[in-house]
A and B are shown apart, each in its own frame.
Chain A
Amino acid sequence: MGFGQLIARRMLLLLLVLFGVTVVTFSVSHLVPGDPARMLVGQRASQEVVEQMRHQLGLDRPIWEQYLRYMRNLMQGDLGISIRTQRPVVEDLVIFFPATLELALTAMFLAVAVGIPLGIVSATRKDTVADHVSRVLSVAGVSTPLFWLGLVALLVLYGRLGWLPGSGRLDPFIVPPPRLTGFLLLDSLLAGRPDAFWSTVRHLVLPALCLSYVHLAVVTRQVRASMLEVLSQDYIRTALANGIPGRSVIYRHALRNALIPTVTVVGLAVGDLLGGAILTETIFAWPGMGSYVVDSINFLDFPAIMGFTVFIAVGYVLINLVVDLTYMWLDPRIRAVG
């Protein structure tokens, strides 16, 4: 199967996933007791006002009609209006998603950029001090609760030492750069604003470090394990026996093969980072999707909850696609067999 075929097949799958996800979330969110209309108008509003609001939200229609209406709008890119913020859900996603993505990608970058070399060092220098240190670090990373790590990092690096800011994406006394992409790093570069860029970097460091640590540990362990396995294989020994330089063997032959399982881990981690950012976002007052979704759930904000779920489901399918494409690129056998 070629790249094109894979993509076409996945797009079809995406439609199925979308259908499944919307049916499930729609049913669940409408079966949960609790009346969003009442949440919206306040606890002391009269029944008349509540009814009027229900009508306005379309909540007085049969559920299948509500679903059809929802799907029709969804196909036009309209996710409805958030009950809580009273803004179109798409607009809310546009406000909050880039913040989460910026944080998740930075964390991912840290995890990969540090985790892979660390794993290689650990594998090629098995049972040396470097290996032990990296293993201790990664075991610690896998077993440290994120909220604890975040609070300690905040207490030390912000509270005690004052090296880094403790909350938000940008110093509130700095005028934010005009919003083009929603990624503050990019926006401030595009606007030619070193002060905003620098402030953004400083705000990113703490949450990104905390968020990346667990994944850094996972990546390191994965790379180490698969490198060790690959390095013990006959073709590596043959290559070394034939006098090919060790570096070349490691990077050209061993690493490429060892990376395949790592790609899976990284692919899954992206989804995890997006979802798992909730705790980090709360501790560091990061204005992202995580807190938006939690607030929406507490408010029974159906359109927002569904919009987010659909968004993440589509994201997962796309990430899996990227992972599979990467496999193909890394391993010609997968390309051949399909």
Chain B
Amino acid sequence: MRKSKRPLVALVALLVVGLLGTSCAGKKAEAPLKPAGVPQDTLVIGVAEDADNLDPAVTVTNNSWAITYPCYQRLMRYKVVNGQGSTEVEGDLAESWEVSPDGLVWTFKLKQGSKFDDGTPVDAKAVKFTFDRLRAVGKGPFDAFPTLESVEVVGDYTVRFKLNAPFPPFIYTLANNGASIVNPKVMEREQNGDKGQAYLAEHTMGSGPYRLVEWAKDQYFKLELNPHYNGPRPKFATVMFKIIKDPSARRLQLERGDLDIAEELSVDQLEELKKNPDVDVREFPSLSVVYVYLNCQRRPLDNPKFRQALSYATDYEGIIKGVMLGKAVQMRGPVPKGMWGHVPDMFQYKMDLDKAKQLLAESGVKTPVTLGYLYADRDPTWEPIGLSLQSTFGQLGIKVEMQKLAYATMRDKLDRGDFDLAVGNWTPDFADPYMFMNYWFDSEFFGLAGNRSFYKNPRVDELIRQAARITDQAEREKLYRQAQEIIIQEAPYIFLFQRNYMVAFRKNVKGYVFQPMLLNIFNTPDMSKE
């Protein structure tokens, strides 16, 4: 019997050796093929999620915009001022433009020589086609053009937009991903009258510096140069987006040099990465804010004094230090710093429990009171924020009940106003305080649309609607300021903080400019590697 076991032992040994062999041999075989890191003319960005749909008329997600933004051009683009991003816009495809005094007619002259990636010229017809298509498709991106009535071709390179009511953010919305000019030849790919949606969901047909050549689902995107691009030739011939869902794995790949940029790492991972001499962690103040909705239609939250008490019972500093490790600044009113319309001397709540107790007494609300705090595990900061509120509100006799739900369910409850307190993030789609003031406070936008506190004040409605009708920026700023003063007193939200946008690069990656309006979108055409 003893003898008989030898072959078995040998088999096991062979398997083990074989497995080890695979790994060792692999190293030898690959080593001469691929030195550490990524080729000089290739940029590899590690992202956390796959995109959903690449059609500019359909998608509203940052994951998709990261891919499409460099593949298309728009009439306008965000300006770089002194090497820094801004919320101002300048012409991209547009050479010049003029607007009628009533703000209803916008005429654009296009630059000549711009071409789509198949060589088709970008002309007035293409612009008209794009906006007609956007309307016909009628999905999320079209919401940025609520008053657009028609687009007319005036000449080969002149195009006229007519609005049925003034919409001052219009010029800014033209820099949106949704306003990407699409090659009219997409109609050759139309299926069942879908305006080419099926095709554009997975392909790009734009005039930007790059074009999509491969999308391996849940694996990577590969962009290559658009041979007909009318502009300086980018340094990177290839840009890859690798989809790596696990943040530890993304970090590891960056450190190994298999990625040039790693996105969406946690604050503590980024702190660790700062110790790596090959890695550069860059940090920028962003327009992305985190705030708490107080449901103004529900007792006792319908009482402004009670809401003020909550605003005084929030530990802003503790949350920023503890949850964000200091990578955020407290909001001052609803319009974040960096967006025009922000009021630097606006009243700002601070934690003051005595004041909170006094306001609570004045409100006449009897304690103990229980409030639900609605959140999901979509964002890791939401839970600790709730715990912080639970602890400080608890000192006033206000019990906070943590209500964690699936994100989709949470959104449904938000939309129906079925909550007491809820937490959320907001990022502007276009560079105008309209994104904050009108969406958050207009009583016509109850629910997910934007007014998530279900806040209604006729005077505020009047002020912000007026500000959305006139084009004079100084006048608009004044109206928004008046509205903010009322709002801050009535405290329909707890204005927590603006996040810093943080991203980790290999040290040799140069030329990145952070554009506050283009989170997760890299200016790859201007970037290079040393």
Chains A and B bind each other? yes
User: Closest residue to A33 on the B side, CB-wise?
Assistant: B412
Given the known inter-chain contacts A44-B143, A205-B22, please indicate yes or no for A291 contacting B218, CB distance below 8 A: yes
Residues from chain B with Cβ under 8 Å of A45 in the complex: 139-140, 143
User: Closest residue to B61 on the A side, CB-wise?
Assistant: A42
User: Closest residue to B9 on the A side, CB-wise?
Assistant: A121
Once bound together, how far apart are the Cα atoms of A49 and B409, in whole Å?
20
User: In the complex, which of the residues A41, A169, A201 has the most CB atoms of chain B within 10 Å of its own CB atom?
Assistant: A41
User: In the complex, which of the residues B3, B408, B409, B429 has the most CB atoms of chain A within 10 Å of its own CB atom?
Assistant: B408
Residues from chain A with Cβ under 8 Å of B9 in the complex: 121, 130
Given the known inter-chain contacts A117-B12, A166-B258, please indicate yes or no for A41 contacting B23, CB distance below 8 A: no
B residues 196-220 near A (Cβ < 8 Å) are 198, 201, 216-220
* Cβ-defined contact, B23 with A198, below 8 A: no
* Cβ-defined contact, B5 with A124, below 8 A: yes
User: In the complex, which of the residues A34, A159, A282 has the most CB atoms of chain B within 10 Å of its own CB atom?
Assistant: A34
Given the known inter-chain contacts A45-B143, A96-B217, A159-B256, please indicate yes or no for A121 contacting B34, CB distance below 8 A: no
Once bound together, how far apart are the Cα atoms of A254 and B242, in whole Å?
51
Interface residues as binary, A102-120 with B (CB distance below 8 Å gives 1, 0 otherwise) = 0000000000011001101
Is the CB of A283 closer than 8 A to any CB of chain B? Answer: yes
Residue in B8, B143, B244, B413 whose beta carbon sits within 8 Å of that of A285 in the complex: B244
CB distance from B40 to the nearest CB of A (A): 13
Residues from chain B with Cβ under 8 Å of A214 in the complex: none
Once bound together, how far apart are the Cα atoms of A21 and B508, in whole Å?
54
Residues from chain A with Cβ under 8 Å of B8 in the complex: 117, 120-121
Once bound together, how far apart are the Cα atoms of A121 and B11, in whole Å?
11
User: Closest residue to A284 on the B side, CB-wise?
Assistant: B249
B residues 14-39 near A (Cβ < 8 Å) are 15-16, 19, 22-24, 26-27, 29-30, 34, 39
* Cβ-defined contact, A287 with B249, below 8 A: no
* Cβ-defined contact, A282 with B4, below 8 A: no
CB distance from B249 to the nearest CB of A (A): 6
A residues 95-144 near B (Cβ < 8 Å) are 95-96, 113-114, 117-118, 120-121, 124-125, 130
* Cβ-defined contact, A117 with B19, below 8 A: no
Residues from chain B with Cβ under 8 Å of A287 in the complex: 216-219, 243
Is the CB of A246 closer than 8 A to any CB of chain B? Answer: yes
* Cβ-defined contact, A168 with B143, below 8 A: no
Once bound together, how far apart are the Cα atoms of A291 and B384, in whole Å?
26
Is the CB of A155 closer than 8 A to any CB of chain B? Answer: yes
* Cβ-defined contact, B219 with A168, below 8 A: yes
Interface residues of chain B, those whose CB is within 8 Å of chain A, are 1, 3-5, 8-9, 11-12, 15-16, 19, 22-24, 26-27, 29-30, 34, 39, 44, 49-50, 52-53, 60, 138-143, 198, 201, 216-220, 222, 240, 242-246, 248-249, 252-253, 255-256, 258, 406-409, 411-413, 415, 429, 439, 448-450
Once bound together, how far apart are the Cα atoms of A56 and B437, in whole Å?
33
CB distance from B90 to the nearest CB of A (A): 26
User: Closest residue to A171 on the B side, CB-wise?
Assistant: B34
Once bound together, how far apart are the Cα atoms of A84 and B407, in whole Å?
15
Once bound together, how far apart are the Cα atoms of A125 and B9, in whole Å?
11
User: In the complex, which of the residues A32, A33, A43, A246 has the most CB atoms of chain B within 10 Å of its own CB atom?
Assistant: A43
> What are 20 of the A-B contact pairs (CB < 8 Å)?
A42-B140, A43-B411, A49-B142, A85-B53, A86-B52, A113-B15, A114-B12, A117-B8, A121-B5, A159-B256, A166-B258, A168-B220, A172-B44, A176-B216, A202-B22, A205-B22, A209-B19, A285-B219, A285-B242, A285-B246
Residue in A34, A245, A284 whose beta carbon sits within 8 Å of that of B406 in the complex: A34
Is the CB of A167 closer than 8 A to any CB of chain B? Answer: yes
User: Closest residue to A83 on the B side, CB-wise?
Assistant: B52
Residue in A84, A114, A118, A166 whose beta carbon sits within 8 Å of that of B249 in the complex: A166
* Cβ-defined contact, A44 with B219, below 8 A: no
Residues from chain A with Cβ under 8 Å of B19 in the complex: 205, 209
Which of A11-19, A63-71, A266-274, A292-300 forms part of the interface with chain B? A292-300
* Cβ-defined contact, A300 with B408, below 8 A: yes
* Cβ-defined contact, A292 with B24, below 8 A: no
Once bound together, how far apart are the Cα atoms of A245 and B448, in whole Å?
77
Once bound together, how far apart are the Cα atoms of A224 and B4, in whole Å?
17
Residue in B16, B140, B415 whose beta carbon sits within 8 Å of that of A41 in the complex: B140
User: In the complex, which of the residues A42, A114, A118 has the most CB atoms of chain B within 10 Å of its own CB atom?
Assistant: A42
CB distance from B178 to the nearest CB of A (A): 10
* Cβ-defined contact, A44 with B52, below 8 A: no
Residue in B201, B252, B412 whose beta carbon sits within 8 Å of that of A166 in the complex: B252
Is the CB of A154 closer than 8 A to any CB of chain B? Answer: yes
Residues from chain A with Cβ under 8 Å of B139 in the complex: 40-42, 45, 49, 53
Given the known inter-chain contacts A42-B139, A120-B8, A124-B5, please indicate yes or no for A158 contacting B252, CB distance below 8 A: yes
Interface residues as binary, A230-249 with B (CB distance below 8 Å gives 1, 0 otherwise) = 00000000000000011100
* Cβ-defined contact, A163 with B23, below 8 A: yes
Once bound together, how far apart are the Cα atoms of A158 and B3, in whole Å?
40
Residues from chain A with Cβ under 8 Å of B44 in the complex: 172
Residue in B1, B29, B409 whose beta carbon sits within 8 Å of that of A33 in the complex: B409
Interface residues as binary, A152-176 with B (CB distance below 8 Å gives 1, 0 otherwise) = 0011011100111011110111001
Residues from chain A with Cβ under 8 Å of B220 in the complex: 168, 172
Residues from chain B with Cβ under 8 Å of A36 in the complex: 408
Residues from chain A with Cβ under 8 Å of B142 in the complex: 49
Given the known inter-chain contacts A168-B242, A300-B408, please indicate yes or no for A42 contacting B23, CB distance below 8 A: no
Residues from chain B with Cβ under 8 Å of A43 in the complex: 60, 411, 448-449
* Cβ-defined contact, A164 with B216, below 8 A: no
Residues from chain A with Cβ under 8 Å of B244 in the complex: 167, 285
Residues from chain B with Cβ under 8 Å of A291 in the complex: 218, 245
CB distance from B29 to the nearest CB of A (A): 6
* Cβ-defined contact, A124 with B1, below 8 A: yes
Once bound together, how far apart are the Cα atoms of A45 and B449, in whole Å?
7
User: Closest residue to B416 on the A side, CB-wise?
Assistant: A33
Is the CB of A76 closer than 8 A to any CB of chain B? Answer: no
Residues from chain A with Cβ under 8 Å of B39 in the complex: 173
Is the CB of A151 closer than 8 A to any CB of chain B? Answer: yes
* Cβ-defined contact, A95 with B217, below 8 A: yes
User: Closest residue to B445 on the A side, CB-wise?
Assistant: A44
CB distance from B28 to the nearest CB of A (A): 10
CB distance from B377 to the nearest CB of A (A): 10
Given the known inter-chain contacts A118-B12, A282-B245, please indicate yes or no for A86 contacting B448, CB distance below 8 A: no
* Cβ-defined contact, A159 with B255, below 8 A: yes
User: Closest residue to B218 on the A side, CB-wise?
Assistant: A287
Given the known inter-chain contacts A33-B412, A121-B12, please indicate yes or no for A38 contacting B219, CB distance below 8 A: no
User: In the complex, which of the residues B27, B39, B216, B246 has the most CB atoms of chain A within 10 Å of its own CB atom?
Assistant: B246
Once bound together, how far apart are the Cα atoms of A95 and B143, in whole Å?
33
Is the CB of A229 closer than 8 A to any CB of chain B? Answer: no
Is the CB of A60 closer than 8 A to any CB of chain B? Answer: no
Is the CB of A5 closer than 8 A to any CB of chain B? Answer: no
User: Closest residue to B452 on the A side, CB-wise?
Assistant: A43
* Cβ-defined contact, A44 with B140, below 8 A: yes
User: Closest residue to A32 on the B side, CB-wise?
Assistant: B409
